[in-house]
Amino acid sequence: MSASPPRLALRGITKVYPSVVANDGVALDVLPGEIHAVLGENGAGKSTLMKIIYGVVKPDAGTIRWEGSPVQIASPARARRLGIGMVFQHFSLFETLTVAENIALALDARRAGGDLGQRIRDVSAHYGLPLDPDRHVHTMSVGERQRVEIARCLLQDPRLLIMDEPTSVLTPQAVEKLFATLRTLADEGCSILYISHKLDEIRALCQKATVLRAGRVTGTCDPREESAASLARMMIGGDLPHPRRSAPKAGAERLVVDRLTLPADDPFGTSLHAISLAVRAGEIVGIAGVSGNGQKELMAALSGERPVADAGAVRLDGRPVGSLDAAGRRALGLAFVPEERLGRGAVPDMSLAENVLLTAHRQSMVRGGFVRSEAVRAFAEQTIAAFGVKAAGAHAAARSLSGGNLQKFVVGREIRQRPRVLIAAQPTWGVDVGAAAHIRQALIDLREDGVAVLVVSEELDELFEICDRLAVIAQGRLSEAKDIAECGADEIGQLMAGSFIAPGAHPHRHFSPAGALGLDPPPEAEAREP
């Protein structure tokens, strides 16, 4: 391997935006067959660097050499012709098109022809990432969209595969299958650039790591010889904080879900079946599950985005609210962090201050029908400061923030409203280890203040760290919530595969959760419910 020139060699890569230096003289070598991690805090310049390599962003200075020859990568099409594929953290999918149509757009005529649908089924089943090629993207959860991105890259037979937070919405079993795939690709000579905030993954998968801080390379290492703590110190320049929490002192029931039943609102959705759950003041209840098993539908029903006919199926402080919309529930003290931060958690083209006004206007921001601009700006700036958001200021557009920084802002905006009930979906998705620890501590602090907190996450370690009780959603059904001390990872994995569902219960799903978890062989073709 060492006798070959680097597959990719970067020298002096610099990219400057009006308010920030994203990359400052970056040098990076990636060898054939090497799995190379790029580490750094949110806003350190990782995603910008990957977009430069993939031709999405043009560098202001520096050179790129591909297999020993200088190249200019002016577009993603040029990158793909060279053999570079990329799985984006923020998905580059057309929501109104099907899975197959989205994948075909990224393939050349030779690969896009023939029975593309069957090849999508084959590759997705082989790698444990079930997909229906005929399904429209707008009906899919974040985790399911991630599968489309990964399958699209694998069908391109890449020589360099860039993966930006590829496991942020995958289960541990699916992660292991993905890792087996990546190791096989590397053994066959494919180079892999891997971005992740999950340091244990980096240590298990990668042979080399380059650390960025404030756009500059601050060091390289072999992550297999480092601990998660030492890698974190390289990234953030200090030790990670440990969560501080007291023994649970749960009070009255704040959020009650009583046999909530809701048909899917599209052919590929998941129907909810008699879901019951109670979250009390001063506790954190977690919901685990494989993406696409009803989380999206449950969040819509609880947040008020999709009111239900039975008002009593959802109650806040004893009051039936199932028929209220999102605004009506927020007026009663409900706050909500959606899993999709860009587009649902925040309007991309609006400033951070304007995005604050959308959900926090009741925090003395409107008086006599007029917006108090200073109060709005102050709330936004205080959120930026309290949650360490790297942004140009309250006037910065939401789309200008890195994914992790926008996530910190959205979570901070909701937490700082001091709600009576907070529902958070994937609260630390794509957030670096330091910021994730900050967000988790903020959720624990809410719980200490008597707030009822419901967290839906596919990060099992996160749920075990912060929750008092834990339930599992599978096939649109919810298991009984158990005290966290009574839960083990193996048991939760079996529940995620639907072990608690009575035999004969119709799944109302388009793929097998057990197959997605790798607990049984995926079917040759996915059978749809008649």
CA angle 259, 321, 472 (to 5 degrees): 40
Dihedral sign, Cα of residue 216, residue 221, residue 224, residue 227: negative
Report residue 14 as tokens: 């610099």
pLDDT for 28 equals: 96
Average pLDDT for 32-40 = 95
pLDDT for 222 equals: 95
Helix, strand, coil percent values for the chain (each to nearest 5):
35, 25, 40
CA atoms within 13 A on the CB side of 388: 15
E-strand ranges in 475-510 read 477-478, 482-483
Query: Measured between alpha carbons, how far is 408 from 390 in angstroms, rounded to an integer?
Result: 9
Crossing angle (nearest 10°) for helices 172-187 and 489-496: 90
pLDDT for 433 equals: 81
Residue 508 has pLDDT above 50, yes or no: no
- What do you get for the CA distance between the two ends of the chain, in Å? 52
pLDDT for 349 equals: 94
- Please list, in sequence order, all residues whose beta carbon lies within 8 angstroms of the beta carbon of residue 40, skipping any fewer than 6 positions away: 46, 211, 212, 213, 235, 432
Query: Residue 113 burial (CB < 10 Å; 0-12/13-18/19+)?
Result: exposed
pLDDT tens-digit profile of 234-270?
887 776 667 777 777 879 999 999 999 999 887 778 9
pLDDT tens-digit profile of 492-501?
878 887 888 8
For the chain, the structural domain boundaries read 8-236, 241-333+419-530, 341-418
pLDDT tens-digit profile of 49-71?
999 999 999 999 999 999 999 99
Architecture of domain 8-236: 3-Layer(aba) Sandwich (3.40)
CATH topology classification for 241-333+419-530: Rossmann fold (3.40.50)
Q: Look at 451 and 184; give whichever has higher pLDDT.
A: 451
pLDDT band at 459 (very low <50, low <70, confident <90, very high): confident
Contact 284, 462 (CB under 8 A): no
Crossing angle (nearest 10°) for helices 373-386 and 352-360: 100
pLDDT for 510 equals: 39
Distance of CA 419 to the CA centre of its chain: 24
pLDDT band at 169 (very low <50, low <70, confident <90, very high): low
R_g of the chain computed on alpha carbons: 23
Helix H or strand E encompassing 119: helix 116-126
Same fold, 8-236 and 241-333+419-530: yes
pLDDT for 98 equals: 95
pLDDT for 528 equals: 29
Mean pLDDT score of the chain, rounded to an integer? 87
Q: What's the Cα-to-Cα distance from 412 to each of 269, 341, 385, rounded to whole Å?
A: 30, 12, 10
Residue 509 has pLDDT above 70, yes or no: no
Beta carbons within 10 angstroms of residue 521's beta carbon: 11
Residue 274 has pLDDT above 80, yes or no: yes
Query: Measured between alpha carbons, how far is 261 from 310 in angstroms, rounded to an integer?
Result: 9
pLDDT for 519 equals: 39
Kind of pairing between the strands at 61-66 and 69-71: antiparallel
pLDDT for 168 equals: 65
Q: What's the Cα-to-Cα distance from 366 to each of 336, 357, 372, rounded to whole Å?
A: 21, 9, 6
Residue 526 has pLDDT above 50, yes or no: no
Residue 336 has pLDDT above 90, yes or no: yes
Give the highest mean pLDDT range of 459-463, 508-512, 517-521. Answer: 459-463
pLDDT for 451 equals: 96
Contact 465, 243 (CB under 8 A): yes
Write the DSSP string, 280-296.
ETTEEEEEE--TTSSHH
Average pLDDT for 502-521 = 46
Report residue 291 as tokens: 């993406």
pLDDT for 170 equals: 65
- Look at 111-125, 290-304, 440-454 and tell me which has the smallest mean pLDDT: 111-125
Query: Measured between alpha carbons, how far is 244 from 153 in angstroms, rounded to an integer?
Result: 41
pLDDT band at 200 (very low <50, low <70, confident <90, very high): confident
Residue 527 has pLDDT above 50, yes or no: no
Secondary structure string (H, E, C) spanning 354-400: HHHHHHHCCCCCEECCEECHHHHHHHHHHHHHHCCCCCCCCCCEHHH
pLDDT for 476 equals: 94
pLDDT tens-digit profile of 398-409?
998 887 889 999
128 SS3 class: coil
Whose structure tokens read 């896009």? Answer: 112
Write the DSSP string, 71-115.
E---SHHHHHHHTEEEE-SS----TTSBHHHHHHHTS-HHHHSSS
Residue 389 has pLDDT above 70, yes or no: yes
